[in-house]
Amino acid sequence: MKNSLNQLTPERLWFYFSEICKVPRPSKKEEKIASWLIAFAEKQKLDWFKDECGNILIRKSASPGYEKHKTIILQSHMDMVCEKNSDTRHDFDKDPIIPRIEGDWVKATGTTLGADDGIGIAVQLAILEADNIVHGPIEALFTIDEETGLTGAFGIKPDLLKGRVLINLDSEDEGQLFIGCAGGKDTVARLPLIFEKAPAGWPSYEVRISGLKGGHSGDDINKGLGNATKLLNRFLWNADKDFGIRIASLDAGNLRNAIAREGFAAIVLPPAKANAFETAAEVFQNDLAGELHVTEPGLKFSVSITTAPSAVWIKDLQTSVLNALYACPHGVLAMSREITDFVETSTNLASVKEKDGKVIMTTSQRSSVESSKKDAADMVGSVFRLAGAEVEHSAGYPGWKPDPDSEILRLTVKSYKKLFGTQPEVLAIHAGLECGLIGAIYPGMDMVSFGPTIKGAHSPDERLNIPSVNKFWDLTLEILKEI
């Protein structure tokens, strides 16, 4: 295993990816990476602009002889999903990501790598710096807050971009070209967090589930992965029914666009039920291992004696939360009738948290059909309203309707076949891309999205395939030369 990326080629691409890993860039906290990009532009003597929203645009003139070629927009997002293993000490606001090489893959150390979309940024910077790459006029657009709200794409003004051809550098499967994506919205439910004194003399346990793969709530929703929020709640719901447990705290999942990997609860129960409870926990662990051994071989479920809490949730709150989480759907709701093996509509039960005097249950819905997206959100919202929760839906973002006759698509397919001798797949993606919003702001924008292979995005298992980065780079340069 080697930790340095400086041995990899293209050298400048990997240099910039390594440098990007050093710059903290959580969603909604992109100030440091934005300042870093501006410093880069000034060093390269390139025109740059920061809009009201915080997006950065860097322009580069055409190579000699390419002045009449079309302006092409290269687009990525600045922010990254900040997930870490529970035993990893890392402050995403301050600490650098530590990449390492294992075989053909680049990984981080206990955290997300940020190849989504740091590798897209690195491609843009290497092209902007180079004096030996031929291209027409380039606009390099770096948006903010793609991962938690698409705020940057929402805030783009119609007069920002001159080009009308855009390559989105934010896809995660080499050999696949994307020309459409799902739209999405969030549904968040809140219940007042009310405590009462814990029963005296009741034994206390921590219930914990960990070791799940997690993953992207769009790309990975159809892979049969375990959801820590659902699985933990399943155990607690039955323990409530069978043993009369009382919940002192509950925390599962994290980000709205990630499948929950870990969760824990602190509970108490009547002393006479303790032995049966421990036996039930062993049975449940074996049940999960049997159900999920293929997709979740690292799953861990445990109960352990812990310090007695001073307070527990009132019973009505506990009943409402457990029933709502059990009834709340998670996973694929509908497959496309038009595209083979393509998820049309899904929902992700992302997390349950205690915050600001509330129990907050966060979900996200995706669909390539606008009416189905609304239906999914309404269905999830109705579950929480039945539990008496206050429900809020986000405004959401639109999908990107595929255009199989796209000029940039034809050129990209032609370039791919020329370079690699094979036909790329042309697909729509169930994940959200900023192309939907950009297309709404610039009607007629000709767009395609592609990238290298990234596995385990939005989880600490995120890894970037090195050979696919070379192909990603070569394809981008070929398109710049030919457009």
Please tell me whether residues 287 and 176 are part of one structural domain.
no
The string of pLDDT tens digits covering residues 126-168 is 999 999 999 999 999 999 999 988 999 999 999 999 999 999 9
Please tell me whether residues 156 and 260 are part of one structural domain.
no
pLDDT at 337: 86
- Distance between CA atoms of 396 and 256, rounded to whole angstroms? 13
**How many other CB atoms sit within 10 Å of the CB of residue 315?**
13
Q: How many domains does the chain have?
A: 2
Please compute the mean of the pLDDT values over residues 355-367 and round it to a whole number: 97
Average pLDDT, the chain: 96
pLDDT of 369 above 80: yes
Please tell me whether residues 103 and 138 are part of one structural domain.
yes
Q: Residue 261: give the domain boundaries.
A: 185-393
Answer yes or no: is 278 within a domain: yes
Please tell me whether residues 449 and 349 are part of one structural domain.
no
The DSSP annotation for 203-249 comes to: -EEEEEEE-----BTTTTTTS----HHHHHHHHHHHHHHHH--EEEE
Answer yes or no: is 246 within a domain: yes
Please tell me whether residues 215 and 103 are part of one structural domain.
no
Please tell me whether residues 410 and 381 are part of one structural domain.
no
Answer yes or no: is 239 within a domain: yes
Are the C-beta atoms of 229 and 348 separated by less than 8 Å?
A: no
Answer yes or no: is 5 within a domain: no
Please tell me whether residues 25 and 143 are part of one structural domain.
yes
Instruction: Take residue 432 and report the two structure tokens written for it.
Output: 């959200």
Please tell me whether residues 363 and 444 are part of one structural domain.
no
Instruction: Take residue 148 and report the two structure tokens written for it.
Output: 């938690």
Which CATH number covers residue 444?
Answer: 3.40.630.10
Q: Where is the domain boundary, 393, 417, 445? A: 393
pLDDT of 2 above 70: no
What residues contact residue 131 under an 8 Å CB cut-off, 6+ apart?
A: none
Which CATH number covers residue 322?
Answer: 3.30.70.360
Q: How far is CA 111 from its chain centroid?
A: 13
pLDDT of 284 above 90: yes
pLDDT at 3: 59
Please tell me whether residues 62 and 25 are part of one structural domain.
yes
pLDDT of 291 above 60: yes
Answer yes or no: is 226 within a domain: yes
pLDDT of 107 above 90: yes
Answer yes or no: is 266 within a domain: yes
Q: Where is the domain boundary, 393, 418, 437? A: 393
pLDDT at 149: 81
Which of 111, 118, 106 has its CA nearest to residue 80? 118
Catalytic center residues:
79, 146
pLDDT at 339: 79
Please tell me whether residues 29 and 82 are part of one structural domain.
yes
Burial of 68: CB neighbours in 10 Å, binned 0-12, 13-18, 19+: exposed
Answer yes or no: is 137 within a domain: yes
- Distance between CA atoms of 179 and 181, rounded to whole angstroms? 7
Answer yes or no: is 25 within a domain: yes
- State the pLDDT confidence band at 1, using cuts at 50, 70 and 90: very low
Residue predicted with more confidence, 4 or 324: 324
Please tell me whether residues 124 and 222 are part of one structural domain.
no
The string of pLDDT tens digits covering residues 186-238 is 999 999 999 999 999 999 999 999 999 998 899 899 999 999 999 999 999 99
Q: Where is the domain boundary, 347, 370, 393? A: 393
pLDDT of 26 above 70: yes
- Distance between CA atoms of 313 and 309, rounded to whole angstroms? 11
Residue predicted with more confidence, 23 or 395: 23
The string of pLDDT tens digits covering residues 472-483 is 999 999 999 999
- Distance between CA atoms of 299 and 202, rounded to whole angstroms? 29
Cis status of the peptide bond prior to 404, with omega within 30 of 0: no
Please compute the mean of the pLDDT values over residues 337-349 and round it to a whole number: 90
Please tell me whether residues 107 and 122 are part of one structural domain.
yes
